[in-house]
Structure formats: structure tokens, C-alpha cells
Chains A and B, each alone.
Chain A
Amino acid sequence: MDGHEDREPLTVDGAQGEGGGQVLRSSLALSLVTGRPFHIHRIRARRRKPGLLRQHLTAVRAAAEVSGATVEGDALRSPELRFAPGPVRAGDYGFAVGSAGSTMLVLQTVLWPLLLAPGRSRLTLEGGTHNPMAPPFDFVERCLLPLLHAMGAHVQVELRRAGFYPAGGGELVVEIDGGHPLRPLERLQRGAIAETFARAQVSSLPVSIARRELEVVHARLGWSRQWLKTERVSSLGPGNVLMLELRHDGGTTLVTGFGEKGVSAEEVAVRTVEEAERFIAAGVPVCEHLADQLLVPLALAGGGSFRTMEPSLHTRTNAELVQRWLPVSITLHDEGGGAWRVDVGPR
């Protein structure tokens, strides 16, 4: 990064704030884009199983691979890690990820560096694509990517096969033309919700589950049956996901709910609907999950503003971390009525 010549390793407290894998993943991504090494200690120290777990190691190794990094401490349950990246190289990369570590988490780690590295990259990710513990593929495709395009990024994603938790077995391909500078982005107004659309997907499960979920969506949100769709998807293992899509001036918001063993289809739908209702009531264009994902690209672009719901601990932690890595300041301002304004600007 220009204007950031500091090559002294940055020390990161892995247990700060939310204290989970995201502190590590964001640090890896920011280390790759800045070229600055880092030393993270107390990794997930307050968690039930502290230290590096397999999904975190997968992210570390992916980050190391795209940059030829030198790594120390990349062992299971390791409480600390030293990471010294080399230059990020565009190219063809393939990462197979076990079911618990979603492919989306690996993407979060290497997407930003590859977007900035000049040249074409092709990223093939195998494993879980629809995992309750991470943003699903559709979120990336429909919510995040349009905003990145608006910022000037050249990136496309394609889902070859869905991989539901726990069986995994999914595959997606990400095509990147890197090196295009990112432009600041502003998403302050939502306006009226223009379109609503619900999809209930099942894999190796009765389609009646999907129908029951959509019935709840119709009853609770009053969405027209015309825009409610059941979909059978082919995947290795069974899975069910309900996705509520809301299109508005600020872009697309996706609210997702996953079917779970021992939880009725109706309950899954009610939970999802309630989350959508909270978003609708807040009147903001950016949902809490997207807010989290936008901090890094806006900081890389050098600025931007958006309105969102009350930031999660995840987002606050990420904001603090980004300010340590990049010469930006991020402010989170409570505007009342459940709306918050986030501003990213040069320090």
C-alpha cells in the first residue's frame, strides 16, 4: 500500500473484541494487501477450544500460498502465529476446504489481495458453500458483488455445485481481473423495497419442507406467491436453506435461514422472517452482515459511507482492526431508531 511503508511486524491480540477466527482472517487479508508481516497471539484465547483450528489453518495456508509467505506456528491448537507475506501473485488457485470450514471464509481471506494484485486470477474452491456459520454463496453473489462492481472491481463468481453443511462437496469458481483501483462507495438511502423474492432450497430432502417454509413467508410477510419459489438442488448431502431477497435503492439484501435437524420448517421460516422484519423496520440499505464485509473494501478504497443496523461485535472488532492496518478512520455513529451511520475516511 502506498503511504504505508512500515515493515515492522504488527502485533495483533487474537482475543480482542469478538476474539474469533475473523480477527485472524482479516489480519491475513490486510497483511497480504499491505505486505506488512504480523504476529498474532492469544488466538481465540477465550473460546472453548482455543488456538488455531482446522478452518483457520486452511485460511492461513491459502493466504500463504497466494503470497509465498513465511509462516511460523501454523499448527493445530497453536496459540500464536507469525506471518510474513511475499508479493501477492495473481494466478490459478484451488483450495479444498473441509465441511466445517466454509469456502466463503477462505474467499474472505484471499479475495481482497487478489483484487488488488495486477493480473487475472481464477480461484476454485471446493467444500461447503452453504454453511450456517458463514455467509452463503448467494450472499456473496447477490449482495456483495454488485457493490464491488460499483466500486470498480472486476470479479465474477459461479456456483458449480452447492455444498451443504455437513457433507460439503460443493464447488465454486471465482474469476478476478485484479489491479483495478477501488473507488469509494456511498450507500446511505434505502428507499422503498422495490422487489421481494423468496427461494426455499432443498437437497436430498422432501420438497414439502421448502413449501412449508414459503407458506410462513407468505402468511407473515404477505409476499405474493408468484415470487416464492421452491428449488431442488443437487448436492452431496441433504440440506435446506430459505433465502429472502429484498431489492431496494441501496442494492440487494439477503436474509437466510438454514434448516436444522430437530427444528421444524415453520420455526426455521419464522426466525428468517423475523430477521427480515428487523431489517425492513430499520429503514437502512445495508444489513449487519454486509456491513461487516464492507469495511475492508471501503478502507482499501480510502473512503465510503453507509447506513446500517446496530453494528455487531464482529463489525466493531473488524473496524478496530482495519484502522490498525490501514491509514483510515472508521466511525460508527448511532442515529437513533435502530439506524447507524458508518464513515470510512482518510486519517
Chain B
Amino acid sequence: MARTREPKPVVVLGLVGSTLDAGVGPKRWGRWRPTVDLCRHEDLLVSRFELLHQPHWTDLARTLAEDIVQVSPETEVRPSVIEMKDPWDFEEVYAALLDFVRAQRFRPEAEDYLVHITTGTHVAQICWFLLTESRELPARLLQTSPPGGRTKGGDPGLHRIIDLDLSKYDQIASRFRQDQREGLSFLKAGIDTKNRAFNELIARVEQVAIRSRSPVLLTGPTGAGKTRLARRIYELKRQRKQVSSTGRFMEINCATLRGDQAMSMLFGHAKGAFTGAVKDRPGVLASANGGVLFLDEIGELGLDEQAMLLRAIEDKRFLPVGSDHEVESDFQLIAGTNRDLGRRVREGRFREDLLARIDLWTFELPGLRERPEDIPPNLEYELQRYAARENARVTFSREAQTAFLRFATSPAATWAGNFRDFSAAVERMATLAPGGRITAKGVAEETERLRRAWGRGEDVDLDRGLIVSVLGEQAYEDLDLFDRVQLAAVLRVCKGSRSLSEAGRTLFAASRRARTSVNDADRLRKYLAKHGLHWQDLHGDGAAS
């Protein structure tokens, strides 16, 4: 026989109901009294009843205890006095119940605790709920109700045990799963992505996004969708009421911040703080109060700004430029970067404490090239987006679609700018499509264009990133474009080479053929030294931008 597990004795904790439980004459038996009737249920055996009452209800408590023993000889009743002058005073009731609970020696492994919430004021009910929900009191809630209209006299009514462990409820759990699915789909902008790593990442983001107010760090190459994901996180939090109804989404790219303007953009300024500060400006941190602040390319933030930002995250307050008064702002920070911030810390360009603070939840978004299986659903998505924006439906011919997907997933497609390139490519094809039909010819033109763009490698942004990573912001600003282009090219070769000599041979290949230079390595070393660089600086780690 399937042996029934030895059930634990049931212990009920409950307050004397001064109204519902009242009565000492024989007529009390004709009424439903929650405390007594709870011990009369045929399918609930109460082994012990911890009956709490205020000092002036001692007689009533005694009557109830005697009656319980009559109707349920198996029940031991232990009355306890609990001091509450005003049973409607939340603070007092909570404190009194908490004191009582803390004085008990609960043995959940040996006894099954139920809190009877039907008696006592609504305030007491709320306090019981809070104590149970916080597990201060290891009990489940027990609610009783009087018998319905057509039941026989003497019916003890109904009882119901409410377990606050929500995962035990099928409907709530399935509702929760559905919300989660919707949340995942939402974060992916409804794109049915197939890449497992990406989908797992989004699932984690969904968990963190709705549960945590801590900073989130999104890393990944430029164009991988950091900004889009940050905005989606904000919108999901808003749907789930995790940000206040007035909380906004503020975004700023730290690479665009310079000098005084940087401080002012972030933290705001007081009127007259500096030349041109003709009126107060709140700054993005203040504007993000109650919402989400997305700081993209956080690695580009100056050290002063980093210090201010750290304080703003930790204390939720900061001082605007030129102001005597601190401003409070409670926002969730999402930071984005395509850099190795650990390395920036070692270089002294990024505060270690700030990194520690924002590195709690780090999500690395893969580039498009690492997600070839997601190209078809993203193509679908881009076409829909175009249709919605331009109010014009655009489709591929079968041949064109095959050709584009073949190119897009081929090694030749580097997708250097990731989704930014992808989105632009689709938009160009759609715009140029005759009669809303993208043809094989249109695809051929676009793929050729993309090849050229990626082949040129003259992306100014990329050069900038590369130079800043080795020389820093200021040195980059001080360079002429002429030198920047040259230096970037040299750095790229150096990073792709195993040794100084190898890099020298590549860089001075023409001279070598003409035999005009014999020491390429020395020539390169001198060039680097002119910029204050050593070969070791470039190969401190293997990272290449």
C-alpha cells in the first residue's frame, strides 16, 4: 500500500475574534464562531491552538478554550495574552504579533503551522500576512467562512488553506510562464531568434530586468543592438510596473561628451555655472529619476565624471555643476561598452570601484556574424519595420532573397557594423526596390556596396576607437586626421602581427622590395616611440578592437 506519510500535527495560531467569537450563553452554539468552528471540521484536526487575546478578553478566551475542548477533545488550547491598545494601529499590532512570533520556538519540521486570519481586525490580518510572507512566521494562512444559506444548522462552514508559495499554483505559474515568454519575445522585439546563446542571454536579461534594480552592463561590438536592448528592457520594466509611471528612458553616448559639457549633460548645471549657462539644466541623471539611464560607451567617460557617477549610483544623489544643492535621482543604470573595461582599469582609465559596481549583471551581446541563424528572422523584422515606417510593403523575389541570405551568412559578410549595417542594407534595398519588389539585381548592387565598405576599413569610428584604446582620449584629440589615419593603420598591422619584425616587414614591404630599408623593425620602433608607444603596449593582451 502506498504508505501515507505520517502527517505533522497541526498547530493553529489565531486571535480571539471579539465580535465573531463573542457569546457566553447557550445561544452561542447557534452561531458560527470562527475560532470554535475551525476545530469542528471533519477534515482538519487541530492538535494545538495558540489562542491570542487582549487582556480584557480573558473570559471570552476561556469560554472559547472550553468549547473547543468539548467539540474537539483532540485539541489542546493555549491562551496567550497579547497587548494591543489599538487593534487598528498597524505599527502596534505588527510589533505585538512580531514579538509573539519571535518568542515562539517554531519547529516546522515537526509541526504544521496555520495562521487563522478570519478573526481580528483587518490590520491584524495584514500583519499576519506580512509575517507569513516574510517567513518570519513559518505558517500557511487559514481562512474560514460561515456555512452557506441552505446548509444544515451546526455546519462549521468552510475552511481554506492559502499557501503563499506562488509556484504551487498551476494557474499563477502558467500565467507567470506566459508573462515570461511575452517578456522574452518583447526583449527580442518580437524577432523569433534561433541562436541559442543569444536566446539564453535574453532569458537571463529578462530575469534580471524584472527582478533587479541593480546596474546592468551590456557589452558587445558596435551595432550589436545594445541601445535597442536597453530601451526594450526599460519598456518591459514599465509594462511590469518596475519603473515608476513617470520614469523615463534617458540615453546618452559617453563618447560624444567633451569637457565641461560632459559634466553638465550628465549631472546638470545651475544657471551661471559657466559661460553660456544661462539657465538651470537638469542633466540626464536627474531626468532619468524613477526610470532607466542608458550610458553607452561608458568606457569613454572621463575620470571625474566616473567618480560623480559612482556616487550618484550609490547614494542616489549628486551635485550639479555650479550648484550648492544636491539633487536626488533614483534610476536604474544600464551601461554599454564595446571595450574591455578590465583593461581600461589596468590602464588607469576606468575606476575599478565603478566597474565593480556596474559589473554585477554583465551581458555580452554577440555580433551578427556569430548569429547567422538569426539573419532570416531579422530580415523579416527589418522588412516589417520598413513597411510600418514608410507605409509601403516591400518583398524580395525568391531569387533575390536566396542571394541575399547566401551572402549575408557567408564569411565574406563581416557585418563590421553588425545590426547597424544590416538595417541600413535592408533599408537601401527596400528604398531602391522598383514597385516594392527587391530583385536579384538590387541585391547584387547592395552586396557589392557592403563588400566595398567593409574592404575599405577606413571607418573613422574604428580608427578612433583603436587610437583611443592605446593613447587615450586627449592624445587622439591632439592628432591631426593625417596622423590618425596613419597611426590607425600601423596599429592594426601591429595588433595582427606576432612580432615587431613581422609588423615591420608588412608595413615596409614596398621599401623592402626596393631594398631601400634594411631595418624595418627599427623604423617601426622609432615611429611608435614618436607617439610614446612601445611594442609591449600594443601586445599587453591579445585584444584587438
A73 contacts B74, CB within 8 Å? no
B153 contacts A167, CB within 8 Å? no
By beta carbon, the residue of chain B nearest A49 is B43
- Which residues in window 71-106 of B have CB below 8 A to A? 71-74
> How far is B69's CA from A96's CA once the two chains are assembled, in angstroms?
10
Chain B window 26-68, contacts with chain A (Cβ cutoff 8 Å), 1 for yes, 0 for no: 1101100000000111111100000000000000000000010
- Which single member of A82, A126, A238, A262 contacts B27 (CB below 8 Å)? A238
Majority SS at the chain B contact face: loop
A73 contacts B30, CB within 8 Å? no
- Which single member of A51, A78, A167, A238 contacts B70 (CB below 8 Å)? A167
Instruction: Tally B residues with Cβ within 8 Å of A.
Output: 27
A96 contacts B26, CB within 8 Å? no
A166 contacts B7, CB within 8 Å? no
By beta carbon, the residue of chain A nearest B6 is A75
A330 interface residue per 8 A CB criterion: no
> How far is B39's CA from A77's CA once the two chains are assembled, in angstroms?
16
- Which single member of B27, B40, B73 contacts A166 (CB below 8 Å)? B40
B486 interface residue per 8 A CB criterion: no
Of the 9-residue stretches A97-105, A243-251, A287-295, which lies at the interface with chain B?
A97-105
Closest Cβ–Cβ distance, residue B33 to chain A (whole Å): 10
> How far is B29's CA from A167's CA once the two chains are assembled, in angstroms?
6
Known: A237-B29, A261-B154. A76 touches B40 (CB 8 A): no
A238 contacts B29, CB within 8 Å? yes
B67 contacts A55, CB within 8 Å? no
Contacts of B153 in A (CB 8 A): 166, 260-263
A261 contacts B30, CB within 8 Å? yes
> How far is B28's CA from A238's CA once the two chains are assembled, in angstroms?
9
Chain A window 162-195, contacts with chain B (Cβ cutoff 8 Å), 1 for yes, 0 for no: 0001111100000000000000000000000000
Closest Cβ–Cβ distance, residue A78 to chain B (whole Å): 5
A54 interface residue per 8 A CB criterion: yes
> How far is B74's CA from A127's CA once the two chains are assembled, in angstroms?
12
Contacts of A169 in B (CB 8 A): 70
B388 interface residue per 8 A CB criterion: no
Instruction: Please count the residue pairs between chain A and chain B whose beta carbons lie under 8 angstroms apart in the complex.
Output: 86
- Which residues in window 35-77 of A have CB below 8 A to B? 39, 41, 49, 51, 53-55, 57, 72-73, 75-77
Contacts of B74 in A (CB 8 A): 54, 98
B45 contacts A54, CB within 8 Å? yes
B4 interface residue per 8 A CB criterion: yes
A236 interface residue per 8 A CB criterion: yes
Contacts of B30 in A (CB 8 A): 238, 261
B7 contacts A76, CB within 8 Å? yes
- Which single member of B4, B45, B73, B156 contacts A78 (CB below 8 Å)? B4
> How far is B70's CA from A169's CA once the two chains are assembled, in angstroms?
6
A237 contacts B1, CB within 8 Å? no
Closest Cβ–Cβ distance, residue A238 to chain B (whole Å): 5
Contacts of A204 in B (CB 8 A): 26-27, 29
- Which residues in window 74-94 of A have CB below 8 A to B? 75-78, 80, 82
Contacts of A168 in B (CB 8 A): 70-71
A54 contacts B71, CB within 8 Å? no
B67 contacts A167, CB within 8 Å? yes
> How far is B2's CA from A76's CA once the two chains are assembled, in angstroms?
15
Instruction: Tally A residues with Cβ within 8 Å of B.
Output: 40
B3 interface residue per 8 A CB criterion: yes
Contacts of B45 in A (CB 8 A): 54, 57, 76
A165 contacts B154, CB within 8 Å? yes
By beta carbon, the residue of chain B nearest A81 is B1
Chain A window 201-222, contacts with chain B (Cβ cutoff 8 Å), 1 for yes, 0 for no: 0011100000000000000000
> How far is B73's CA from A127's CA once the two chains are assembled, in angstroms?
9
A99 contacts B43, CB within 8 Å? no
Known: A72-B1, A76-B7, A204-B26. A54 touches B42 (CB 8 A): yes
Contacts of B152 in A (CB 8 A): 132, 260
A82 contacts B73, CB within 8 Å? no
Closest Cβ–Cβ distance, residue A174 to chain B (whole Å): 18
> How far is B42's CA from A73's CA once the two chains are assembled, in angstroms?
17
By beta carbon, the residue of chain A nearest B37 is A166
- Which residues in window 257-286 of A have CB below 8 A to B? 260-263
- Which single member of B29, B43, B67 contacts A76 (CB below 8 Å)? B43
Closest Cβ–Cβ distance, residue A204 to chain B (whole Å): 3
- Which residues in window 145-177 of B have CB below 8 A to A? 152-154, 156
Contacts of B156 in A (CB 8 A): 100, 166
By beta carbon, the residue of chain A nearest B150 is A262
A98 contacts B26, CB within 8 Å? no
B154 contacts A98, CB within 8 Å? no
> How far is B72's CA from A169's CA once the two chains are assembled, in angstroms?
10
B4 contacts A75, CB within 8 Å? yes
Contacts of B7 in A (CB 8 A): 75-76
Contacts of A238 in B (CB 8 A): 26-27, 29-30
Closest Cβ–Cβ distance, residue B68 to chain A (whole Å): 10
Contacts of B72 in A (CB 8 A): 98-99
> How far is B73's CA from A96's CA once the two chains are assembled, in angstroms?
6
> How far is B70's CA from A36's CA once the two chains are assembled, in angstroms?
35
> How far is B30's CA from A238's CA once the two chains are assembled, in angstroms?
7
- Which single member of A54, A72, A126 contacts B43 (CB below 8 Å)? A54
> How far is B43's CA from A77's CA once the two chains are assembled, in angstroms?
7
Contacts of A75 in B (CB 8 A): 4, 6-7
> How far is B67's CA from A23's CA once the two chains are assembled, in angstroms?
31
By beta carbon, the residue of chain B nearest A53 is B42
Closest Cβ–Cβ distance, residue B160 to chain A (whole Å): 13
- Which residues in window 468-507 of B have CB below 8 A to A? none
> How far is B71's CA from A236's CA once the two chains are assembled, in angstroms?
11
Contacts of B40 in A (CB 8 A): 98-100, 166
> How far is B507's CA from A211's CA once the two chains are assembled, in angstroms?
122
> How far is B45's CA from A9's CA once the two chains are assembled, in angstroms?
29
- Which residues in window 112-132 of A have CB below 8 A to B? 126-127, 132
Most buried by B among A54, A101, A127: A54
> How far is B415's CA from A149's CA once the two chains are assembled, in angstroms?
104
By beta carbon, the residue of chain B nearest A100 is B42
B70 contacts A99, CB within 8 Å? yes
Closest Cβ–Cβ distance, residue B43 to chain A (whole Å): 5
Chain B window 3-38, contacts with chain A (Cβ cutoff 8 Å), 1 for yes, 0 for no: 110110000000000000000001101100000000
> How far is B30's CA from A96's CA once the two chains are assembled, in angstroms?
22
> How far is B26's CA from A78's CA once the two chains are assembled, in angstroms?
35
Closest Cβ–Cβ distance, residue A259 to chain B (whole Å): 9
By beta carbon, the residue of chain B nearest A128 is B71
> How far is B73's CA from A169's CA once the two chains are assembled, in angstroms?
10
Most buried by A among B1, B6, B7: B1
Q: List 15 A-B contacts (CB under 8 A).
A: A53-B43, A54-B41, A54-B42, A54-B43, A72-B1, A80-B2, A98-B39, A99-B72, A126-B73, A166-B29, A167-B70, A167-B71, A203-B26, A204-B27, A237-B26
The 9 closest A-B pairs by CB, nearest first: A261-B153, A204-B26, A96-B73, A237-B29, A166-B154, A53-B42, A99-B71, A167-B29, A169-B70
Enumerate chain A interface residues (CB-CB to B < 8 A). 39, 41, 49, 51, 53-55, 57, 72-73, 75-78, 80, 82, 96-101, 126-127, 132, 165-169, 203-205, 236-238, 260-263
User: In the complex, given contacts A57-B45, A127-B73, what are 13 additional A-B residue pairs having Cβ atoms less than 8 angstroms apart?
Assistant: A51-B43, A54-B41, A54-B74, A77-B43, A80-B1, A96-B73, A98-B39, A99-B71, A100-B40, A204-B26, A236-B70, A237-B29, A238-B30
Enumerate chain B interface residues (CB-CB to A < 8 A). 1-4, 6-7, 26-27, 29-30, 39-45, 67, 70-74, 152-154, 156
